[in-house]
Amino acid sequence: MEILKTILTIVFIIVSLVITVVILMQEGKQAGLGAISGAADTYWGKNKGRSMEGMLVKITKICVGVFLLLAVVLNLGIW
């Protein structure tokens, strides 16, 4: 059981680092201020889900879900 806890802790640390890197790679919300003048109707504005930025958002959501799940499992105290 101690080996499983060690493995989950290592995965937890790796996921934490991945979340940090992915969030730092994302553009700030300041770039979205062009929507006021109508610049959001560009190709990249319409297809944001398929762009690199959209992929980073999806990766962030998945990693945060895994992070929360691991945090709950590691904190259950069944070890």
- pLDDT tens-place string over residues 8-45: 999 999 999 999 999 999 987 665 555 555 555 555 55
71 part of a folded domain: yes
Q: To the nearest whole number, what is the mean pLDDT of the chain?
A: 84
73 part of a folded domain: yes
* pTM of the predicted model as reported, rounded to 2 decimal places: 0.73
Domain of 63, in residue numbers: 1-8+54-79
24 part of a folded domain: no
35 part of a folded domain: no
Q: Give me the number of domains the chain comprises.
A: 1
Tokens 């790796």 map to which residue?
14
14 part of a folded domain: no
Cα–chain-centroid distance for residue 37?
Answer: 29
77 part of a folded domain: yes
69 part of a folded domain: yes
1 part of a folded domain: yes
Q: DSSP letter string over 4-44?
A: HHHHHHHHHHHHHHHHHHHHHHSPPGGGGGGGGGTGGGSHH
